[in-house]
Structure 1
Amino acid sequence: MMQIKTIELFNIELPLIEPFIVSYGTYPNMPSIIVKMTSQCGLVGWGEAVPDEHVTGETLEGTYAVLKHTLAPAMIGENPMNFEKIHAKMDALIYSAPAAKAAIDIACFDLAGKKLGVPAYQLTGGRYYEKFPITHVLSIGTPEKMANEAAERVEMGYNSFKMKVGRDVASDVARIKAVRERVGKEIAIRVDVNQGWVNSSTTMQAVRELEQLNIDWLEQPVRADDIDGMVEIKSKTSIPVMIDEGLRGVREMREIIAKRAADKVNIKLMKCGGMYPAMKLAHMAEMAGIECQIGSMVESSVGSAAGFHVAFSNKVFTSVELTGPLKFSKDIGNLQYNVPYIQLNERAGLGVDVDEAVLAELTRDHCVVQ
């Protein structure tokens, strides 16, 4: 039986090539917590937590403290392959705290895969997809800037975009129209409002302008907790709607299914607590006929790889938006992208090597729990 011997925590900051801008904030760099989990037999599993005050309700400092004082000490001596038991133990210790739990969960999957000599996707359903197209995310900018960036990316081979909007309807519609005019009709455009239009009436003003623009889907236009607002929008538009911030765990998924509040849901490991809970949400969605996406909190190669392993092994996932490693000027891992696609390797666990020299260079705080 494998046992967890030590857990090391690294509070790091990943340098972005350019600031990441969404409706609720601008990120010059991405803070992250890396977990290094070592077993009694000497194997190492890597995990990651990228908390977000606006989405998971966790701060970086709080997540680091929860891992250091609550979750990591309780994992020592546990078998990392007992995913159900590990989650039950974490849930008994602290309510919610999904990003903190995700870091432990991901490290356990990496360890289990390495112990068995199989890729992590073999533990989540086996390989279903061979490759996924990568969507380029356009940060909020002027209509001209966003259109220019989209045109550059089409030249590089990208054929789908996720546009970040959410400032005000008039300027957002101008942004979307500018990109559509520049890239033509064949390129896929998804619009992510990140709650920026607040309510259904504002959203419907935008929807009337967007109906003719062949939008793949409209993501989280209203406040996260306004499930009824999503119901109203879905009933009044032909544009498919996706819930992101409004879906964290099982409780929200039950309500979304019961009210038929979305055509698609954006499952993020940092919102739900890791790979194992993400699988449970995907199974619920599949039973209800709702398509899934694995979304990004701009994680490093470690957290991004974990999301890909879940998506590659379940047919209900029809899109993936894990582009964190492409946004960093320096990353701790070596997840390989073949733009505009990603194909996972066949290596055990997450299939990612962590460069401990780079990790040390980016670390602001470090501790060992044993």
Structure 2
Amino acid sequence: MRISEIEVFAIRLPLYEPFVISYASYDDMPSIIVKLTTDTGHVGYGESVADDHVTGESWESTFAVICHTLAPQLIGENPSQFEKIHEVMDKAIYGVPSAKAALDIACFDAVGKAYGVPAYDLLGGRYHEKFPITHVLSIASPEHMAQEAADRVAEGYESLKMKVGTDSKEDVKRIQAVRERVGKDIAIRVDVNQGWVNSATTVQAMKQLESCNLDWLEQPVKADDIDGLVEIKSKTSTPLMADEGLKGVREMREIIAKRAADKVNIKLMKCGGMYPANKLAHMAEMASIECQVGSMVESSIGSAAGFHVAFSKKIMTSVELTGPLKFSKDVGNLHYDVPFIQLNEKPGLGIDVDEKILEELTVRKEKVTE
């Protein structure tokens, strides 16, 4: 089995409402979809959601890198040789993890279909039966976030992830308002997306939030400030999660060596896809650090890939892949039993891609062949 053709689609996924985090506001979500075809006729889909602030890639640069640098190198390669696929991509260009993730995911999808097995069987087999889904609250006023939280809890959600990080004093009010509205039994996770910048601001804010009983605090300081995480962890009692501070093996080694976090958020777009994510999970497990597979707000394609990684690993204790629930149109049909997700046993990623919708949302496309 060899890769014979790779089609690349630059699309924009429409959101029901704007998605607001500490460093950006999105009216729609730019994404790159790849369609990989083998000489045996098997088709695999992959996705890249680049983030200028996290992966150092843009939507435009990712499209160009896949079309002109990565895809040509993979034509003729065996998609089941995951280690070699990544070696070829790494030799072609340094970094660009979300671009590599799209091709990695497409390989897993195609190989799973060729072998007649779900992608999680290519990663060690299924471990979890289902995961609870966490609703993500975009940044808004304390009153608005509290009301949205109450509405979601009424729908059956038992955990909430709050996006904060614009101003620590206002963020404290937001978190307190949500906790007061939903009561003490609902799990609240707080994601600062680097917005509190340094350890001093973070420790000050957390002293005011001790009574809120947060599940965890995620990436309050700048991505490269792993020593800042160490200081926060030593001065606060709330479990600490590293997100933007964890991209690949180098950062994971440092986090483990310094005991800088209690948990890590593994994202396929940050590390290069399903195969590298699998490696990071093994590293975390050896250090007894719990893992989550997080979201860059991907479509059904990228979200399904993340779920396959999460479902295959015991060390994965949570998932936050809710992109498809935020889109008014999606290219795939990943199914949620809100507030849970249960994967099916179909081969590959286990989803169907609607090529009519893919074409409708496409802004630009290109094909790479032998």
Shorter-chain TM range is: over 0.9
Query: Can you give the 5+ residue segments of structure 1 that lack an aligned partner in the other structure?
Result: none
Structure 1 partner of 2:263 = 264
Per-residue CA shift, 1:250-279, capped at 9, x if unaligned? 010011011110000000000000000000
SS of 2:208 mapped into structure 1: helix
What percentage of aligned pairs have identical amino acids? 73
Q: How does 1:61-140 map to 2 (within 5 A)?
A: 61-140=60-139
Q: How far apart in 1 are the matches of 2:103 and 2:24?
A: 27
Deviation at 1:210, TM superposition (A): 1.1
Q: How far apart in 1 are the matches of 2:179 and 2:38?
A: 51
Deviation at 1:27, TM superposition (A): 0.4
Q: Which amino acid aligns with 2:113?
A: K
Q: How does 1:134-149 map to 2 (within 5 A)?
A: 134-149=133-148
Deviation at 1:327, TM superposition (A): 0.2
SS of 1:352 mapped into structure 2: coil
Structure 2 partner of 1:209 = 208
SS of 1:338 mapped into structure 2: coil
Q: How does 1:170-249 map to 2 (within 5 A)?
A: 170-249=169-248
1:363 is aligned to 2:362: yes
Q: How far apart in 1 are the matches of 2:282 and 2:238?
A: 24
Q: Which amino acid aligns with 2:37?
A: T
Q: How far apart in 1 are the matches of 2:4 and 2:166?
A: 48
Per-residue CA shift, 1:1-58, capped at 9, x if unaligned? x110100000000000000000001000000000000010111000000000001110
SS of 1:198 mapped into structure 2: coil
Q: How far apart in 2 are the matches of 1:45 and 1:224?
A: 33
Q: How far apart in 1 are the matches of 2:283 and 2:114?
A: 29
SS of 2:4 mapped into structure 1: strand
Structure 2 partner of 1:279 = 278
**Cα RMSD for the two superposed structures:** 0.4
Q: Which amino acid aligns with 1:145?
A: H
SS of 1:369 mapped into structure 2: strand
Q: How far apart in 2 are the matches of 1:149 and 1:229?
A: 32
Structure 2 partner of 1:35 = 34
1:350 is aligned to 2:349: yes
Q: How far apart in 2 are the matches of 1:210 and 1:28?
A: 31
Q: How far apart in 2 are the matches of 1:210 and 1:221?
A: 14
SS of 2:336 mapped into structure 1: coil
1:329 is aligned to 2:328: yes
SS of 2:88 mapped into structure 1: helix
Query: Can you give the 5+ residue segments of structure 2 that lack an aligned partner in the other structure?
Result: none
Structure 2 partner of 1:340 = 339
Per-residue CA shift, 1:269-315, capped at 9, x if unaligned? 00000000000000001001100000000000000000000000001
SS of 2:36 mapped into structure 1: strand
Q: How far apart in 1 are the matches of 2:212 and 2:70?
A: 47
Deviation at 1:170, TM superposition (A): 1.1
SS of 1:166 mapped into structure 2: coil
Q: Which amino acid aligns with 1:64?
A: F
Q: How far apart in 2 are the matches of 1:358 and 1:115?
A: 25
Deviation at 1:167, TM superposition (A): 1.1
SS of 1:325 mapped into structure 2: helix
Deviation at 1:228, TM superposition (A): 0.3
Q: How far apart in 1 are the matches of 2:147 and 2:268?
A: 32
Structure 1 partner of 2:16 = 17
Q: Which amino acid aligns with 2:213?
A: N
Deviation at 1:62, TM superposition (A): 0.7
Q: How far apart in 2 are the matches of 1:275 and 1:57?
A: 19
SS of 1:181 mapped into structure 2: helix
Q: Which amino acid aligns with 1:212?
A: S
Q: How far apart in 2 are the matches of 1:225 and 1:138?
A: 25
Deviation at 1:247, TM superposition (A): 0.4
SS of 1:34 mapped into structure 2: strand
Per-residue CA shift, 1:217-270, capped at 9, x if unaligned? 000000000000000000111100000000000010011011110000000000
The aligned length equals: 369
Q: How far apart in 2 are the matches of 1:222 and 1:100?
A: 26
> Which consecutive aligned stretches of 4+ in structure 1 deviate over 4 angstroms post-superposition?
none
Deviation at 1:169, TM superposition (A): 1.4
Per-residue CA shift, 1:326-370, capped at 9, x if unaligned? 000000000000000000011000001000000000000001000
Deviation at 1:136, TM superposition (A): 0.1
Q: How far apart in 2 are the matches of 1:77 and 1:224?
A: 37
Structure 1 partner of 2:293 = 294
